[in-house]
Amino acid sequence: MNAPQMNAPLLPPLSGAASPSSGDLLKRTARGAGWVIGWRLTGRLMGLFNTLFLVRLLLPADFGLVALGSGFAVAIEALSTIGVEEALIRETAPTRALYDTGFTLNVLRGFATAAIIAATASLLAQFFAEPRLFGIMLGLALSAVIMAFENIGVVDFRRDIAFDKEFVLIVVPRMVSIVVTVASALAFRSYWALMAGILAGRSFRIGLGYVMHPYRPRFTLRAWRQIAGFSFWTWARSLPVLVRERSNNFVIGRLLHATGVGIYAVGEEIADLPTSELVQPLCRACFAGFAAARRAGVGVADAYLRIIASMAIFTLPAGIGISLVADPVVRLAFGSHWLAAIPLVQILGISGALTIFGSVSATLFSAHAYLKSLFHIAIGTLVLRIALLLLLVPHHGLIGAALAVAISNACEQAVYIVLTFRRFAVRGRDLLRHLWRSVLATTLMAAVLYATGLGWSATAEDGRGEIALRLVVAMLLGAGVYVVTLLAAWFSAGRPTGGESDVLALLRSEAPRIRAILRRLLPSRGAPPVG
C-alpha cells in the first residue's frame, strides 16, 4: 500500500452506501456472519480433533496448568486494553496517522503486558503451589510480545466486512498451531506441547498478516487523543468482563487445584460451542453494520429482532442439544478420566443457549457508544459471579461453579433485554412473536429425547459401540423433531417474516456461490483422471 497523505482519509466510509436500510444491514450482517461462522467452525473442528488426540497423551493437570496461566495472562491483558481496533472501525475516515498510532499503542501495550506477566510469574506459581507455572508464564509473556507486532492494516478486513480474508488469517495459523502441538505432544508428553502450539500459531499469524495486507505501519503517537476519545470506556468495560470470565479458573484452581481447572475447562469448552461458534461470530459481523446504521440514522429495532430470531433457530437447539447428550459425548470423546465434566456440560449447555440476547444487545450498545452502561453491567455481573463462586464451589465443587456461571449469565441476559427494550423501542411482544416457534420446537425436542431415554440419561453400562449408536439416534431424532416442529409452526402462522424466512432467503442467495465453489473444488465428469 502506498502511504497516503498524513491527514487524508485512508479508506472510504465503511457503510458503502449513504443511507443503508434495515434490510441492507441485515443482509450485510448475515453474509459477514456466514464467513465468520465458517472460519470459527473450521477452527473449532480442528481444535476438537486436536483436543481428542491430546487427551490421550496429556493429563488433566497439563490442561489445567496452561488454563491457569492463560487465564491470568488474559486478565492482565485487560488492564491495557485500549480499543484500538474498535476505534478504527467506528471512524468514518481514518487517516494514516490514526493507523500508525494504533500500531504503536499496540506495541507499547504488548511489551507492558509481557513485563507484568513475567514479573508476576513467580507470585502466581507460589499462590497455586505449582512451580511449573513459572515457565508457562514466561512463555505467555513472549507470546504477548509477538502479538504486539500484528499488522494494523488487517483491521480493514473487519471494516470492509471482508471476512473471507479473516478466514485465511485465522484458520491457517490455527492449523500450524495444531500441527506443532500434536508433534510436541508425541515427542514430549508434556504441557509444553500446548505452549509450543500457542507460540507457533501466533508467530505464523504475524507473518501472514504482513503477507495478506500491504500496509506497513510506522511508529508514531500523533493521533493518540483521537483514539483515547473512543477507548476509555472500552478499556473500562473490558477489565471486569475478562476478570469475570477468568474468575472461574482462579476460584476453582485455589479450592480444587489444577485437575479441577482442567476438567472444568474441557466441560466449558464443549458447552460453550453455540456461543463461541455462532453467537460471537455473529456479533463480530454485527458491530460494523450497527455502527454504519448509527452514522446514517437508521433504526435498528427490526434488524435487532430478526438477527436474534435467525440465530435462535440454531443456538437454542444447539445449546439444549449439547446439554441433552452430554453423557455420551464426554464418554466417547474424552474417556473415563473426564466423567466429572458431564454435569458441567449439562448445566452450561442450557446457559449457553441463552447468551445470544445479551451478546447481540451488548454489540448494539457498543456501536451506539452506550459504553458506560456496558461497564456498569459488567461490574454488577462480576461481583455476582465471584460471590456465587465463593458461595457454591466450597459446598458443591465443580457443579457449584457451573451453577454460579449459569445464574450470573441468566441475570446478565435479563438486564440486557430490559435495557434494550427501553433504549431502542423494542417491545417484548415483538420479541416473543419472533421467538415462540424456536422455543416451542426446542422444548418439544428436549421432551421427546428425555421421554425416550436418549437425553439427560447415563450410559455407564453400555459399550462404546452402543453409546455411539445412542448418540447418533439421539442427534437424528432431536434434529428431526426440531425441524418438523419449527416448519409446522411457521407454516401454521402463515409464513411470517422473521428468522425462518431470513435464513431461507440467505440460503437461496448464497446457493449460486456455493455451487460455483463446489464446481471449482470437484473435478467434472468428463475430466481425465489425474496421473
10 compared with 506, residue with greater pLDDT: 506
Residue 27 has pLDDT above 70, yes or no: no
Cα first-last separation, the chain: 41
Can you name the residues that pair with 22 across neighbouring β-strands?
Answer: none
Contacts by 430-433, CB closer than 8 A, 24 or more apart: 430/301, 430/305, 431/305, 431/308, 433/496, 433/498
Residue 357 has pLDDT above 70, yes or no: yes
Sign of dihedral through CA atoms 66, 69, 73, 75?
A: positive
Residue 234 has pLDDT above 90, yes or no: no
Q: What is the pLDDT of residue 371?
A: 81
The interaxial angle of helices 355-367 and 371-423, nearest 10 deg, is: 110
Residue 474 corresponds to which cell in the numbers above?
439421539
Residue 230 has pLDDT above 80, yes or no: no
In single-letter form, the type of residue at position 198 comes to I
Q: What is the pLDDT of residue 145?
A: 94
b/e map 125-147, b = 16+ CB within 10 Å: beebebebbbbbbebbbbbbbbb
Between 15-29, 101-115, 231-245, 467-481, the lowest mean confidence (pLDDT) is in: 15-29
- Residue 289: closest CA among 11, 27, 18: 27
**CA atoms in the 13 A half-sphere facing the CB of 169:** 22
pLDDT in tens, 286-329: 787 777 676 666 677 888 888 888 889 999 999 999 999 999 99
Q: In the predicted model, what is the mean pLDDT of residues 482-509?
A: 89
Residue 42 has pLDDT above 80, yes or no: no
Q: pLDDT averaged over the chain?
A: 83
Q: In the predicted model, what is the mean pLDDT of residues 270-283?
A: 80
E strand or H helix that includes residue 491:
helix 464-492
